[in-house]
Amino acid sequence: MSDNWVRACAIDDVDEEDVIRFDHNGQTFAIYRSPDDEFFATDGLCTHEKIHLADGLVMDDIIECPKHNGRFSYKTGQAKGAPVCVNLKTYPVKVEAGDVFIGLE
């Protein structure tokens, strides 16, 4: 587990089955809230053409990129088919006192 937890947002900042963008130290992340009310974090940019995934669509455990409709599992980062073939990096998440933290290296 990480020892560098960074506050990304409040839990109420993210609707269920939605995603928001979070920038920190020049890096962009995407923070997801699943339909069963769990939080996840990945790199914020699609591995295909560096498009912001927070502008994409969340469906169940999938994030669909807004540019070419590439899909990833936001829980595992796994690329789910063309045109995306490089997995997304994922980050540990914890929720404490109404805030969402992501664990950075």
Q: Which residues bind ligand FES (CB under 6 A)?
A: 46, 48-49, 51, 65, 67-68, 70, 83-84
Nearer to ligand FES by Cβ, of 63 and 100: the residue is 63
Residue with nearest beta carbon to ligand FES: 70
CB of 52 to ligand FES, least distance (A): 10
> What CA–CA distances, in Å, run from 24 to 42, 69, 79?
13, 26, 24
CB of 53 to ligand FES, least distance (A): 8
